[in-house]
Amino acid sequence: VVLADTLGRADPAHVAALAAEAMAQLPVRIALHLHDTHGMALAAVYAALEVGVTTFDAAIGGLGGCPYCPGAAGNLATEDLLYMLDGLGIQSGVSLDGLIAASRAIEPHVGHPLPSRVYRASASPA
């Protein structure tokens, strides 16, 4: 079962409580689909990890949106998620450099800068 915050408005405490309740009531794996409209998607992932959720949707560069939710931002950026998971010592088997390369290849075709913070930082001289 995938719990979705299509508007990107949920706060981490709400996400953790809802995920914990779903896990207690349903005999299936719980996953999260998060949009980053209010910049809380990574915080929500962290809170969900704390209650045992291990499956998360994400999109290269933070692509996405929602045609029936005007103003909703893109999905949680895969690069941002992976960077946080790596920092927490959680192995994903996914190459951060590969994700950044994929975003670099996709960005010219979408007509706007990709919102991924990690991707944006990789393009900046450090």
Q: Find tokens 């930082």 and name the residue.
A: 121
Helix axis angle, 12-25 to 41-50, nearest 10°: 40
Residue 31's φ and ψ, nearest 5 degrees, are: -125, 160
Q: Rounded to whole angstroms, how far apart are CA atoms 55 and 15?
A: 14
Amino acid, res. 121: A
Q: Reply yes or no on whether 69 is catalytic.
A: no
Q: What is the largest CA-CA distance in the chain?
A: 48
- Provide the β-strand partners of residue 2: 31
Catalytic residue, from 3, 31, 51, 66: name it: 66
Residue positions annotated with a catalytic role: 66
